[in-house]
Amino acid sequence: MMRSHRRISRLVLVLTVAISAGACGVSESTSADVTEPGADDVGSGEVLYQANCASCHGVDLRGTDKGPSHLSNVYEPNHHGDASFLLAVRNGSPQHHWRFGDMEPIEGLTDDDIVAITAFVREQQAVYGFEPYPP
């Protein structure tokens, strides 16, 4: 019951942030946090990240020739908040900090999946810190 309530609360918060950001024309650099992730989110987020994000952002989050490092200080929470991950996955993201081209939306991920991926990225950022931009 408690886990179900937490999931519903999280989904309501995610949707509220996404709708508000879209309705107000907020850029993806909003600093609103989508959720407070748990340990389960980090573990499942790693699996989901490797399956859906690593081909562009690197298995070690340090980027590839297809996409930027998630350890760049551009991805600090005060610059790209958790909501920006949700918006980028859902809607894609136009090229603006990098020269990799636009990011296309990622199909097949639920809001809970994106929350888990974000939790994993944030945990890795806390462990490894941030790299200067530009690289």
Residue type, 43: G
**pLDDT interval class at 25 (50, 70, 90):** very low
* The pair of three-digit structure tokens given for residue 88, joined into one six-digit string: 């980028």
SS3 for 68? coil
- The model's pLDDT over 104-126, given as tens digits with 9 standing for 90+, comes to 999 999 999 999 999 999 999 99
| Integer Cα distance of 100 and 95 in angstroms | 7
SS3 of residue 2 by DSSP: helix
% of the chain beyond a pLDDT of 90: 65
The pLDDT, as a whole number, for residue 135 is: 74
pLDDT tens digit sequence for 45-85: 999 999 999 999 999 999 999 999 999 999 999 999 999 99
Report all structural domains of the chain as residue ranges with CATH numbers, in order of start.
2-128 (1.10.760.10)
